Structure 1
Amino acid sequence: MKILRPIIVLSLATLLVWVVFGLWPRSAEEDAGPAERGDANATAGKPAPAMTAAGEGEDLPPLPPKGIPIDQAAPLLAAHARAGHARAACRLALELLSCRFTLGQDGLRGLHSLSAERHAAQGNLEAAIRIDQQSMAVAESASACRRVEPALHEDAVSLLSQAARAGVPYAMYLYGTGEHYRYRDIGFAATPEFDQWRRSAPGMMLAARDAGIPEAAAFLARAYSQDVGLAYALFPDDQVQANAHWQLQSLLGSGATSGHFPFMFDRLDAAQERESIERARRWHKEAFASGVFHNLSSSDMPYFPGTHGSMASSDCQGPAPRTSVGTLRQAGD
């Protein structure tokens, strides 16, 4: 007993130190943040309204005009998004995702400066001036991006997801591409956010096609025929679907069907060829009113505002939602 008494005292003293200084192991629930453990304080007050693709809030000032710096537009766009207005959430998400690209480009300013100097030394002053002007414009946009509240930058993907689920067609398309993960930190695939995207992205892209987003055709043609890309791997290999979307892309760009899809590994037989063309013509009529988009890019990659290229439909204001995303189809449907 005399031998055990010092051991017991020492053990109790050690336990007291662990408790006082917070060294006692915490449960997973204790380590979770308010959102994970359902903290009442995190959800106190009026619940956020359901997000809809309807117009602007009657009790808020009008949405800021397009083209103004993001740091000036963000507070009002965020207020509209918090009020449940999906188009404002889409526009804010688009601007914030553009910031990721812009900040990355601004980090290459030194390389751009060297390129301008090389052109100037070669006597190509026009090219040197153009590079300098582009670099200055990127630096100005990057400065505006840095003035935006950091928490808003963290909400970019969540805002895009909310707008997509509310039925904003361009948000559905952009969310489906997964391009918002291009500038993410390492480890993004281990998050619940990514798992949610993985499950819903194919259905979102199909909904975007049915809602009249022409760029969805180019994306789906490649998604059904190859796996070179994050979102492409979520779609099964389906040569009929691939050719059908290739023919739809051709109809949207020129009004006529095209020849063999160059990304396909196997030729279709005559019956499969007819079936794919029939699908394309049906989609063209039902989702796009048989319209032709002469400025339609052949690329399947989305463009963010202020980066490069242009799209026929890169606008959160249109077209009007036609498809409910409550029951998204799967990629094999």
Structure 2
Amino acid sequence: MRRGHDEVAGDASEPAAPLPGLTSLPVEPSAKPTRAVARYDANGTPRPVEPLPPLAELVARADGGDARAACQLAAELHACREKAVLAGPRRRGGNEEHPNRCSDLIEKYGGRHFNYLRQAAFAGEPEAMLRYAKGEAFGVPGESYAFLSTPDFDTWRREAPAMLQAVFEAGYPEAALHLMLAQEPIFGGQLAALLPPDPLRERARMELMVLFAGQHPEAAKIAASLPRADPALQQEAQALARRWHLEYFNGLEVDPNTEPTDHGMPLMAGSGQACSQPIPGLKK
């Protein structure tokens, strides 16, 4: 992505500043998200990861309505745009495995990033739903704020909260994490200041992280690290978190030290290859 007069100066490697001038919008979306592909399939076995096909084939499939291909394209576009920013102007578009693939993706299809991601998200692809809700289609946070004045941004603002909630209710702990981080002015990214304040649910999301840790020794540390809260609010939030944990996550427990590549929170590092994959938790 090129830097221009509408971009914010600064080192892209530093934490992004909160987006200026955003206020909460009603949760009601302009389009209702499709329910996400369930986290578990019939026997709890994930589909084997397949290598990404040639770019021309992937684009043709996505343009033909293949939601998984659109999901893979969007995920790869984000990775390429991120690498280009981190690499700097002399190495942008570089990819060790496929040196021309990233540059071709950005040059030819970068302008369609939003459309591919939204297509896959509304088809119920969980990785695309999470990426769409996070605002990935607008590039690397902090590099440019040009997207703030686009119609796509207004569309996204009205759809992102319900989209993220749909992934949460489908049993993906990544969505719970991003719902929690959405209240953080820096780490919330595009979602920061978008969700309306709700002290009960905000605290319940924190308590849910403790439940995900289960019997792991880290659970006590996570609980101790939570900020103090009014006892009545904390009690109500813990009850709500327990209800969510059973209703949406089937009592899922995840080792807090497990790397995403070991299926701890797979969508966090899916890179498009997790699209459509029902990936089971460590414990069910």
Instruction: Bin the TM-score by the shorter chain.
Output: 0.5 to 0.7
> 1:52-98, CA deviations, whole angstroms, 9 ceiling, x for partnerless residues?
989xxxxxxxxxx7445xxx522222222223222221111101111
SS state at 1:170 partner: helix
How has the CA–CA distance of structure 1 residues 147 and 230 changed in structure 2, closer, same or farther, with 3 Å as cutoff? closer
The 1:192/1:169 distance shift into structure 2, 3 A limit, reads same
Of 140, 159, 177 in structure 1, the residue corresponding to residue 116 of structure 2 is 159
Instruction: Write the letter of the residue equivalent to 1:164.
Output: A
Give me the whole-angstrom Cα distance separating, in 1, the residues matched to 2:177 and 2:80: 25
Alignment of 1:227-266 (within 5 A): 227-228=185-186, 229-254=189-214, 258-259=222-223, 262=226
| Corresponding residue for residue 197 of structure 1 | 156
Structure 2 counterpart of 1:215: 174
Pick from 202, 206, 217 the counterpart of residue 165 of structure 2: 206
Give, in whole Å, the separation in 2 of the partners of 1:104 and 1:296: 29
TM-score (norm 2): 0.65
2:70 is the counterpart of 1:80: no
In the TM superposition, residue 141 of structure 1 has moved relative to its aligned partner by 4.4
Q: How does 1:142-157 map to 2 (within 5 A)?
A: 142-148=99-105, 150-157=107-114
Q: TM-score, normalised by structure 1?
A: 0.56
In structure 2, relative to structure 1, the CA distance for the partners of 1:186 and 1:242 (3 Å cut) is closer
How many residues are matched?
A: 219
Amino acid at match of 1:269: D
Counterpart amino acid of 1:236? P
Q: Evaluate the alpha carbon distance shift between residue 102 and residue 143 of structure 1 in structure 2; reply closer, same or farther with a 3 A threshold.
A: farther
Aligned pair in 2 of structure 1 residues 107, 83: CA closer, same or farther (>3 Å)?
same
User: Where in structure 2 are the equivalents of 1:1-333 lying within 5 Å?
Assistant: 66-68=50-52, 73-107=54-88, 138-148=95-105, 150-183=107-140, 185-224=144-183, 226-228=184-186, 229-254=189-214, 258-259=222-223, 262=226, 267-294=228-255, 311-313=265-267, 314=270, 315-319=274-278
Structure 2, unmatched stretches of 5+, are: 1-33, 38-48, 280-284
Check 1:317–1:84 CA distance in 2 against 1; reply closer, same or farther (3 A cut): same
What secondary structure sits across from 1:233 in the alignment?
coil
Distance 1:195 1:202 in 2: 13
Given residue 106 of structure 1, which amino acid in structure 2 is its aligned partner?
A
Name the SS for the 1:250 alignment partner. Answer: helix
Q: Which has the higher contact order (CA 8 A, sep 6+)?
A: 2
Identity of aligned residues (%): 34
| RMSD over aligned Cα atoms | 3.4
More helix by share: 1
**Hey, what's the Cα distance between the residues in 2 that align with 1:211 and 1:198?**
21
- Please identify runs of 4+ aligned residues in structure 1 that moved more than 6 A: 51-54
* Alpha carbons of structure 1 residues 261 and 243: separation in structure 2 relative to 1, 3 Å: farther
Specify the structure having the higher radius of gyration (Cα): 1
**Is contact 2:200-2:233 (8 Å) kept?**
yes
- Residue in structure 1 matched with residue 6 of structure 2 by the alignment: none
